[in-house]
Amino acid sequence: MASNSDGLIELTNLETSKEYTKFTITYKNKHINIKYNNYFCIFDSNDIDTDELNISISKESNFDIDLIKKYIMIFFKEKNVKKVDTMNIFKREIEKTKCIVNFTNLKKHFNENKSYISSNIKELQELANSMPKELKLDYNQVYELIIREIKNVNTDLSHSNYICCDKDNYTSFNVRLKYDTGELSEKLKHSKINYFELNFKLNNILYPFVPPEISYIQPYINPNLIIAILNLNNIDSTTWNYTISLNQYIKNISSSLEPYFNTNFDNSIKKEISDIELLLIKLGQMTKISTSDITIKLNSNTKLDKKQNISSNGKYWSSGTGYGSGNSNSEWNILEFLQKQKESNNDILQILQQINQKLTISNFDFNIIFSNDILSNYIKSNFSGLTILELDKKTYIFQEILCILNKITYSVNPKSIPFKFINNIYMSMKDFVEDLINDIYSDETVLSSLNCVTKLLCDDIIKIFNFYKIFQTKITTIIPNGKTTLNVKDQYFDIVSKNQFKYNELHNHHKFIKNKASSIKPKTIMRIVSEFNSLKKNLPNNWDSSILMRVPKSNLNLITFLIVGPKDTPYHNGLFEFHAYFPDNYPQIVPKVLLDTTDGGRVRFNPNLYNCGKVCLSLLGTWAGEVSESWSPQLSTFLQVLISIQSLIFVENPYFNEPGYEKEMNTSKGKTNSFNYTDNIRLETIRVAMNNVLKNINFDESDKSNYNEFIKEHFKLKYIEICKTIEQWVDESTKQKIHMIKAYEEFIELYIKNIDSTILI
C-alpha cells in the first residue's frame, strides 16, 4: 500500500451494487468518499470541503470512471492516479462494460454538431405533430438519453450484445449481436466469427419517438436475409413503441434474428460482404427492386397497442365522381406525403452518391456491379415511362445515375461489359431518347423552354444511349415460314397501339375552340409535352376498354380523347369522344373537359355526364370532394383524369351516382329504378355511341390523323361481341325493347354499308 506521506492517492473500500458504485480516496490522511452511477456523482468528506467540486460535477450530463478520474486529478493536482490504484478500482470499473466507449469524444461530437442540429429542429419537429407534447425532448435531453442508453446496453450483463462507437458518433453506432450458446454459437466458433454486426442510426432530435434506422454490416449472409433485416425499418413511427428502451430493443432483435441467422449463415462461405454489395442491397430494398420471402417478426413490445376505431362512412358510390362526398376535410396531408417522398428520394440519393464514391477507387472490381442486377434494374425503373417533367423533378437522382454510367463507360473495356447489362440500359433509355429527339429537340420552342440543368442531363442521356447502342449486340430472331395469324384480341391490341396517340389538325368543332391561344407559356408547354410522353406509353389498351387521344400539333393545349365503353356496363363497346383544354397556367389551373358524344345535347349518359357535355368529377374541380380526390398541381396528371372518367363514371350501375339515390341500394325499389335507368342508357349507347359514330365516319383514307381507322377496325373486330351484347340487352329490356330492336337493326345496316359488306355472304 502506498504511503500517504508521499503525497500519493490511495483508493480503497470498493462497494458495488445495482444502484451505484462507491469507494474511498485517502490523500495525506484525509478521506473522501465517492458515490456514483450513470446519473449522479457525489464527493463527500469530513476532512475536505467538497462543495465546489460537487457543484462543478453536477454540470456534467453523464458519469463514468474516466470522468471521475479526471476530477480526482484536478482536485488533488495529482498527475498519476493509476500508480496508487492498488485495488485496481479503475480497471475493475472499466471491465464491467462489454465495450469501452469514449464518452468524452461523443460529447465532443455532440458539441461540434449543435449548430447543425439547431438548424434542423424546426423542420423535423413539424413532422412530429403526433408526438405527445408533454414528452417532447430538446436536443440536449435527446443526447443525454442516448448516452444513458448506450451505457445501459454495455453494462447489462444479462446478454452478450453490445454497442461499439468506433467513429465517436453518438447517433450512428454499430451493434454487435453475440450468441454464446446453441447451434449458431458453434457455427460462429467454427468460422472464427465473433458476432453479427448491425448499424443503428438514431434521430438526434426526434428519438425516442421514431425508431432507429437499421443497416447490416457483417459477416456475409444470404442477401434475402439482409433485405428482411432492412425491412425492419418499415415500422411506422405512429405505431412505434417509444417507451421501449434501446437495451430492450436490441435484445428483442437479437433473439428474433437468431433462428434466421442460424438458417441463413453458411459457415463454409468465407466470403466477405463488400461495402458496394451492401449499398446495392440497400438500394434494391428501398426502391422495391429487390424483395425477400423472409419476414422477420419482432416481439410485440416494439409496437404500441393502438386500437383504431373504424366506423363506416356510409359511402356507397365511387369516390371522386362528384357525389362520393361533399366534405373537403380530410386527414390526408399532401404536404406530409410530399415531405416523406422527398426524404425517400434523399435517402436514395445518398446511396447513389456512396456508390459513386466507391467506383472512384482505383482497381475497383466492376464485376460486382455486373454480377448483380439491382443497379441495372434500378436504372431501368427510372427510365421506364420517364418524362421531362419527372426528369426535372429528380435532377439530383439522374445526375448520380448518369455519373455511375459514365464511370462504367470510361473505366471498363466495352468488351468486358456483359451483354445483359448493355441491353438493359439500352432498352430502358430507348423510348425516352426517341421522345427527346422527336418531341423536344425537333421543336425549338419546346427545346428553349428546358432549363440548363435538364438540358445538360438530356444531352448526357443521349450520349450514353448512343454508346450502348453501338456496342449492343444485334440479335437475329428466326422467323418461321408462313404468316402468323393473330387471334382477334391480339389484332385489336395492335390496332389500338397503332392508333392510340396521334397528332392531327385542330378542327373547328372542338368544344374549346374559343380558347385557342396564339402562344403558351414555355413552362406550360413543357408540362403538357412531358405528360404527352407519358400518355403515349400509359394509355389503357385492352380488349375490354381502351382510351385513344388526338393532339393538334399547332395547339397542344386543345386535345380530344376517345373512351371505349368498359365491359359489364351499359356503355360496353360504345365510343365516347371528349374534348379537353389545358389552361395557360396548367397544372396550377385544373384542365377543362367536356363530353362531345351527346347527340347534339339531347342525351345525358350518366349523372356525372350532363347533356351539355359537363363532366362532374372531383378531380376536375366540378365538385368539392375530399382533399385526396381533388386536383393537386404537385401530384395530379391528366392520365388520372382519363382513368377516373373510364373507371369511376362509366360504371355498371350509374343510377346510384345520383345524389341521394345511394340509399336505395339493395332495395327492390332501388334495383328496379337502377335497371330502368340502365335500360335507357343501353339504348342510347347503341343509338348515339355506335350508330351515330358509324353514320359520321369519314371515308377519306388519306386522313390518318383522326379516329376513322380505329373506328372501322373496332366495329369489325368486335362485331360478333357487340351483336351478342345487344341481343342480351334486348332480351333483358323491359321498357325499351322495341326501340332497342330498331336501333340494333340500324346498327347491322350501318355496319354492312360502312364497314364490311361481306357479312351478307
pLDDT value at residue 169: 87
Q: Answer yes or no: same fold for 103-302 and 488-760.
A: yes
Kindly list the catalytic residues: 616
Of residues 409 and 174, the one with the higher pLDDT is 174
pLDDT value at residue 310: 32
Q: Which residues contact 111 (CB under 8 A, 6 or more apart)?
A: none
Mean local confidence (pLDDT), 621-627: 63
Judged by average pLDDT, the poorest of 54-58, 472-476, 631-635 is 472-476
Looking at domain 103-302, which CATH architecture does it have?
A: Roll (3.10)
Residues forming a β-bridge with 595 = 578
* Highest-pLDDT range among 177-186, 294-303, 408-417: 177-186
**pLDDT tens figures, 243-275:** 788 899 999 999 989 998 888 887 666 567 788
For 361, phi then psi, to 5°, come to: -65, 135
∠ CA 705-711-717, rounded to 5°: 135
CA distance 208 to 210: 5
Tell me the three state secondary structure of residue 650: coil
Q: How many CA atoms lie within 13 A of 54 on its CB side?
A: 15
pLDDT value at residue 306: 41
Residues forming a β-bridge with 576 = 563
**Burial class of residue 352, CB neighbours in 10 A (0-12, 13-18, 19+):** buried
pLDDT value at residue 330: 44
Mean local confidence (pLDDT), 620-635: 72
pLDDT value at residue 453: 86
pLDDT value at residue 604: 94
Residue 132 has pLDDT above 80, yes or no: no
∠ CA 61-66-68, rounded to 5°: 65
Residue 571 has pLDDT above 80, yes or no: yes
Question: Domain extents for the chain?
Answer: 4-95, 103-302, 334-471, 488-760
Mean local confidence (pLDDT), 54-67: 70
Residues forming a β-bridge with 209 = none
CA distance 216 to 279: 10
pLDDT value at residue 88: 55
Give the count of beta carbons closer than 10 Å to the beta carbon of residue 283.
Answer: 21
Pairing of strands 501-504, 547-552: parallel
Tell me the three state secondary structure of residue 468: helix
- Report residue 500's pLDDT band, with 50, 70 and 90 as the boundaries: very high
CATH no., domain 488-760: 3.10.110.10
Judged by average pLDDT, the poorest of 51-60, 81-90, 423-432, 439-448 is 81-90
- Cell 508521499 found at: 6
CA distance 471 to 481: 30
Q: Are 43 and 57 in contact (CB under 8 A)?
A: yes
**pLDDT tens figures, 653-701:** 998 888 777 777 788 888 899 999 999 999 999 999 999 999 988 755 5
Q: Which residues contact 11 (CB under 8 A, 6 or more apart)?
A: 23, 24, 25, 26, 81, 84, 85, 86, 87, 89, 90
**Mean pLDDT over all residues of the chain?**
80
SS (HEC) of 399-433: HHHHHHHHHHHHHCCHHHCCHHHHHHHHHHHHHHH
Tell me the three state secondary structure of residue 562: strand
Residues forming a β-bridge with 614 = 594
Of residues 582 and 303, the one with the higher pLDDT is 582
Helical residues (DSSP H) of 208-322, grouped into ranges: 223-230, 246-264, 275-286
Length of the chain: 761
Tell me the three state secondary structure of residue 180: coil
